[in-house]
A = this chain, B = another copy of it.
Amino acid sequence: MTTFTFEVLVTLKDGLSDPQGKAVESALPSLGWTNVRHVRVGKHIELEVEAHDEASALEQVRGMAVRLLSNPVIEDYQVLEVAPK
């Protein structure tokens, strides 16, 4: 078994209101930044999976992204493999 490291990015689907992003956007002008738009806040999950091969590990991480890490109704996800050190 080999250990593979992945990152999963979970972001709200386009068009949905993003209250956390709005909060950041409205805080920025008081710090002097009035030139920032379209702030979207999502989740970044890093994890290590033990598997026989890379394809199987990736398949499993996609399963986790759909079933646990994201809400597929309102969120999109991307799975990225982190190169071994």
Residues on A close to B: CB < 8 A? 1, 3, 9-11, 21, 24, 27-28, 31, 33, 35-51, 60, 63-64, 67-69
A41-B43 contact, Cβ under 8 Å, with A31-B67, A35-B50: yes
Q: Within 8 Å CB of A64, what residues of B?
A: 28, 31, 33, 36
Q: Main SS of the interface on chain A?
A: strand
Complex copy number for this chain: 2
A42's partner among B1, B21, B33, B44 (CB-CB below 8 A) is B44
Shortest Cβ distance from A41 into B: residue: B45
The complex places the Cα of A1 from the Cα of B37 at a distance, in Å, of 14
CB neighbours (8 Å) of A3 from chain B are 37
